[in-house]
Structure 1
């Protein structure tokens, strides 16, 4: 697939999940209009949509139709959006910008941001629960585990505990495997389970791909926090250093971090071998994720 064709495919998938999410909101009248506005602000204002794209690409690689994948793609993005709203709160990272826009607690207020995050999270499971699929319990369990105490939330707790500390590379990898990697793995697994049963060996291959990709993605994010600018990133650059947060560039240096991200991407690409030519879009995405500038 040419770079232009791949970029068009990404844009189409982003537009697809955005349209699905907009329909979710438009399907009912808001009980609390200000809350609804804050939820939309945290969800529908920009974003790379990498996690729903992973749902689509993994599912298609195993034969699932786009309409089957829509609920999982939307659900995983709703969980991701809630996590960002809460990440940005004064009690967490206290950020002013997200996706080039004021964060939810800045655009509204802190209490509304907390409630908006809560509502986005529960809406994710509502969307998924409404999907008619024979493996719905497995899809629900995958998302819950990826998002919860043994996944993203647990990783955030480790991240907060590490501020000002000096973890080694192994401890940092463990933190990111939970905070960032768990939802990426969950997205890929949800796409795969929409298409095939869990015992299909390609599911395990895709999970290996996602594990390596998730860490490569986070390392590249750490690099961008050092090398990027606020306008391009859509959030404040240099924030990790300002908060004394442990990062891969701090532990390995910039070139060491870039090398590690490249090695992990190669591991992810190798893991795709059992899928053959059907995995080509996933391979393109892996390369894109460590070449992006935001």
Structure 2
């Protein structure tokens, strides 16, 4: 086996924990990346960030009750995320406060509450694990959760795809054809929460949103087709997982931040070199001004 092949594929061939981490990254890419594309399209990027922190109090309560129990942490995270989403939406509709401000306020409260709860009984290592996760420590139960969430997300996403887009682009048309799009909106919010809970197992509260939003932000500089954007976002997220795990293994770096750094690198490259990036935008402006 050549040195290059050993470098690129050796860690996954030799170590089961690396193979599990790679499968987990691909599952997260399949479930999270399409959700991120729609969040960007609906200008709800802050919602994804807010929800990644909103699940922390529920996960912390699950940790306090049952330790690092996957069912307890997952159920607590889902409940906390839904509570914050409903509370922020209610505050927005009951007052004149903007929705982004409501989500920002609630997610900061949730983040502080979650860290405080963990600190009451856990150690600094527990806090770091909850905040940043450990994709290299993913076990078979967590893989089943991530694979199940990804499969259900893709099926539900396909089922609500058309009305969800109609609700984002022309809610009046959707209302005239099928009634209010509120049901599809809440189903979509549920998909956001469960995908963040699945990512929470591997990437932690602070990094869970990385594979959801960064690939989605990157593809906007390459295509204006939604179908192409979804496919490209999945590829970028999966490739970021693969490259991040390689970097983590060879350079002895934290795996979650390494994965998100590669996704961030893909965004920066797209921002500069993309079809709708800075360089071509600057060239088109010069051509029009000439």
Interval containing the TM-score (normalised by the shorter chain): under 0.3
TM-score normalized with structure 2 length: 0.27
Q: Which structure's relative contact order is higher, taking Cα pairs within 8 Å and 6+ residues apart? A: 2
Higher helix share: 2
